[in-house]
Amino acid sequence: MDRDVVETVSLRWLRRLVIAVFLVITVFPFYYMLVLSVRPIERLLLDPGALVVGFGELTVATYAEVLKATDDGGQGFLTFIRNSGMVAVAATVLTLLVAIPGAYAVARLRFFGRRQVDFLFLAVYLFPSIVIAIPLFVVFTRAGLRGSLFGLVLVYISQTLPVSVYMLKNYFETIPVSLEESAAIDGAGRLGIIRRVSLPLAMPSIMAVALYDFMIAWNEFLFALLFLVDKPNRWTVSLGLSLLADGVEVPKTVLMAGSVVLTLPIVILFFASERLLTEGLTSGAEKG
Amino acid sequence: MTTTAPGPGRSPTRERSAPPRRRQLTLRRRESRAGLALVAPTLLVTIAVIGIPIVWTVVLAFQRVRLATLRKTGLFGEFTMDNIDRVLHTPGFAETLWVTLIYSIGGTVGSIVLGLVAALVVRRPFRGRTLVRASMLLPYVAPVVAVTFVWQVMLDPQLGIVNAWGQRLLGWDAPVPFLTQESTALATVIAFEAWRYFPFAFLFLLARLQAVPGELEEAARVDGATPTQRFRHILLPQLLPVIALLGVLRFIMTFNKFDDVYLLTGGAAGTEVVSVRVYEFLTARTDIGAAAAQAVVLAVVLIVFVLIYLRFFGRRVS
């Protein structure tokens, strides 16, 4: 038989199979998380291989335990959600305020040291965060900022700023210069051009970067662990959940409920803005 | 910021009277000033929250600092080589470095291969493609604490689904403690790494694949090239620069990784990577000097590896 036909037909089937496998390995862990979070722990121990929840055993007691305040015998995750939300929003807003003008300058304006600045942001983006963590740990201990959410916001900016500048810069570079020039001919100054031409055009990309920054801050674990561990009322969801696992005999089903609480906001945000994010993340990647 | 930028009221007509050469010079100078003014806040913040900490880590690496004596030590106390010496000669140093290397290479190769396969299968449109593509990004966007927990529970010897099914369907004699025994822990952590980060490679490779001109493949097809030949001779050469770039990016990021290993195994069962070790020095032993020295060693080793890599693949990456 013709090799071309054999390959085309077998690859068509292989492709379907591979897509199915990928769907299983990416979605299954999240499905499993959800299923476990609504099963009572005794049922899980009896039948660990079950994939569906029987109607009789469905429970939301796990969520009640996770979300209730510590005074009411729960784990106080509502407080953690508030902390995480505040920190992530503040870090995102501050990052954008600083990153947008900087990215624009690096992308568009010729100034002394521009290449070096450009390289610096990339190098810093790839630097190990544990290296940055040590002196920040020292400074925060001395300045009494350890255990403060404001301090954590400052640290998160160090995580989000370089990647934001990098992504925004790539986008600003794709905006045709002629658009800005025609605005200049119409009498707009530099700030006017940025406000009326470049920013509106870059809005989708700015939204993508904002979402990305929010996700980084919401998901972050190492710095929360280093700086907040002594202050239980300041814990973020990630930290609270990981310390819950170290605690005295918390059932795995309760841990899974906590995981769902931690993951759900991100997944909702992600599916609501999937197209925006996918394109924002790789804009400029085609240049290879 | 506002002072250096030209006011919006100024119109280009007023400048027309000046000789052309001078006008160009002032425009250029104005642009340069605006550029510096706009980049200054970004630069200052970067230096404050990243630049200074990096330099300070290097300084700390050569000082005798412990958490207890922290309030008394100044920035420029006496310098010593003790920390570096201690880090290099503490038992387990070489092993940690070796584990980090295997973990980084394994994670990098795994995530790129998975990402490449994923990009190839969702390249052409089919029903539900958007949903499939979005699902493939889930491991990457989901919080690390949550996904490590799910893996831990799935692989748990008593109540994990993997062992339950392995025993029932594959006839395993006994449950496998994937994350706690030496023979499987490192491989499991690498598999996790490949699973969590293949979407990163997937995104970049898919974007590049879609930029390959359709005529190229069409021409090869007309010439009688089979699908695998077209991949080997048309697509792969187009993808190689991206793959080389992904190689260096993923290697650096995996080499620095802390959360994943710490949360999955805590560095036990032969999975202690360098950053977990730095964390141990910093918190369990409260030895800041040693932690800083270890971090500096990590950064230096990383830089050396990246330089070697760039030497071999540099032309492709740039």
CATH of residue A140's domain is 1.10.3720.10
Choosing from A48, A67, A86, the residue where a domain stops is: A67
Q: Is residue B32 part of a domain?
A: yes
Q: Is residue B112 part of a domain?
A: yes
Per-residue pLDDT of chain A (288 residues; tens, 9 = 90+): 688 888 888 888 999 999 999 999 999 999 999 988 888 887 777 777 777 777 777 888 888 888 887 777 777 888 899 999 999 999 999 999 999 999 998 888 888 878 888 778 777 777 777 888 888 888 787 777 777 888 889 889 888 988 898 888 888 888 888 888 888 888 878 888 888 888 888 888 898 899 989 999 999 999 998 888 888 888 999 999 998 887 767 888 888 999 999 999 999 988 888 777 766 656 544 433
Examine the domain organization and report whether A93 and A39 are in the same domain: no
Examine the domain organization and report whether B268 and B183 are in the same domain: yes
Examine the domain organization and report whether B178 and B94 are in the same domain: yes
| Percent share of chain B, pLDDT over 90 | 26
The residue segments making up the domain with residue A32 are: 3-67
Query: B101: which DSSP letter?
Result: H
Location of structure tokens 């209730």: A68
The residue segments making up the domain with residue B48 are: 14-61
Chain A to chain B Cβ contacts (< 8 Å): 301
pLDDT at A128: 78
Examine the domain organization and report whether A231 and A138 are in the same domain: yes
Examine the domain organization and report whether A52 and A130 are in the same domain: no
Q: Is residue B74 part of a domain?
A: no
Give the helix ranges, DSSP H, for chain B.
12-15, 20-46, 52-61, 82-89, 93-121, 129-136, 138-141, 144-154, 161-169, 182-211, 214-222, 227-230, 236-255, 259-264, 274-283, 288-317
Examine the domain organization and report whether B161 and B307 are in the same domain: yes
Cβ pair B104, B306 in contact under 8 A: no
d(CA B124, CA B164): 37
Examine the domain organization and report whether A25 and A107 are in the same domain: no
Examine the domain organization and report whether B40 and B112 are in the same domain: no
Examine the domain organization and report whether A101 and A211 are in the same domain: yes
Q: Is residue B249 part of a domain?
A: yes
List of chain A residues whose C-beta atoms are within 8 Å of the C-beta of residue B67: 141
Cβ pair B154, A29 in contact under 8 A: yes
Cβ pair A228, A147 in contact under 8 A: yes
d(CA B177, CA B159): 11
Examine the domain organization and report whether A173 and A280 are in the same domain: yes
List of chain A residues whose C-beta atoms are within 8 Å of the C-beta of residue B49: 132, 136, 154-155, 157-158, 161
Residue to substitute from A125, A131, A221, interface B, most B β-carbons within 10 A:
A131
Examine the domain organization and report whether A87 and A198 are in the same domain: yes
Angle between helices B274-283 and B288-317 (to 10 degrees): 160
**DSSP characters for A125-188?**
HTS-HHHHHHHHHHHHHHHT-TT-HHHHHHHHHHHHHHHHHHHHHHHHHHS-HHHHHHHHHTT-
Q: Is residue B1 part of a domain?
A: no
Cβ pair A226, A137 in contact under 8 A: yes
List of chain B residues whose C-beta atoms are within 8 Å of the C-beta of residue A138: 56, 60, 65, 70, 288
A204, two tokens? 């989708």
Examine the domain organization and report whether B199 and B158 are in the same domain: yes
pLDDT at B5: 44
Examine the domain organization and report whether B42 and B183 are in the same domain: no
Examine the domain organization and report whether A167 and A126 are in the same domain: yes
pLDDT at A163: 86
Cβ pair B149, A259 in contact under 8 A: yes
* CA distances to A201, B27, B87, B112, B306 from B244, in Å: 32, 40, 33, 10, 12
Query: Which of B31, B149, B299 has the CB atom closest to A110's CB atom?
Result: B31
pLDDT at A281: 59
**B157 Cβ contact partners less than 8 Å away, ≥ 6 residues apart:** B163, B175, B176, B177
Q: Is residue B71 part of a domain?
A: no
pLDDT at B314: 60
- B11-16 contact pairs (CB < 8 A, 24+): B11/A187, B12/A184, B12/A185, B12/A187
Examine the domain organization and report whether B25 and B159 are in the same domain: no
Examine the domain organization and report whether B261 and B137 are in the same domain: yes
Q: Residue B109: which pLDDT band, with cuts at 50, 70 and 90? A: very high
CATH of residue B204's domain is 1.10.3720.10
Q: Is the pLDDT of residue B11 over 70?
A: no
CA B15, B16, B19 angle in degrees (round to 5)? 95
Examine the domain organization and report whether A105 and A37 are in the same domain: no
Examine the domain organization and report whether B31 and B125 are in the same domain: no
Q: pLDDT of B261-298, one tens digit each?
A: 999 998 888 889 988 988 888 887 778 888 888 888 88
Examine the domain organization and report whether A267 and A182 are in the same domain: yes
Q: Is residue B70 part of a domain?
A: no
Domain count, chain A: 2
List of chain A residues whose C-beta atoms are within 8 Å of the C-beta of residue B191: none
Cβ pair A266, A215 in contact under 8 A: yes
Q: What is the largest CA-CA distance in chain B?
A: 91
Q: How many CB atoms lie within 10 A of CB A59?
A: 17
Cβ pair B175, B168 in contact under 8 A: no
Q: pLDDT of B240-252, one tens digit each?
A: 989 988 998 899 8
pLDDT at B72: 60
Q: Looking at the complex, does the CB of residue B207 fall below 8 Å from at least one CB of chain A?
A: yes
Residue to substitute from B15, B25, B39, interface A, most A β-carbons within 10 A:
B39
**B106 Cβ contact partners less than 8 Å away, ≥ 6 residues apart:** B187, B190, B193, B194
CB contact under 8 A, A221 and B203: no
Choosing from A46, A67, A88, the residue where a domain stops is: A67
Examine the domain organization and report whether A127 and A256 are in the same domain: yes
Examine the domain organization and report whether A9 and A89 are in the same domain: no
Domain count, chain B: 2
Choosing from A33, A67, A101, the residue where a domain stops is: A67
